[in-house]
Amino acid sequence: MAETKTILQLDFISHEGKTVSIKLADPREDLTAEEIQNAMEQLNNTRVLYKIHGAYFVPAKIKGAKFIDTVTNEFDIEIE
In a domain, 25, yes or no: yes
pTM: 0.80
pLDDT at 52: 63
Q: How many domains does the chain have?
A: 1
Residue 35 falls inside a structural domain: yes
Residue 79 placed within a domain:
no
pLDDT of res. 19: 92
User: Within a domain: residue 56?
Assistant: yes
Residue 47 inside a domain? The answer is: yes
Q: Please indicate, yes or no, if residue 16 is contained in any of the structural domains.
A: yes
pLDDT tens for residues 30-73?
A: 999 999 999 999 988 887 777 766 656 778 899 999 999 999 99
Query: Is residue 77 one of the residues assigned to a domain?
Result: no
DSSP codes, 6-29 = EEEEEEEE-TTS-EEEEEEES--T
Q: Which residues contact 37 (CB under 8 A, 6 or more apart)?
A: 62, 65
Whether the pLDDT of residue 26 is over 90: the answer is: yes
d(CA 48, CA 58): 11
**Which domain range does residue 16 map to?**
2-72
Statement: residue 77 has pLDDT above 70: yes
Taking residue 60's Cβ as centre, other Cβ atoms within 10 Å add up to 21
Assigned domain for 50 exists: yes
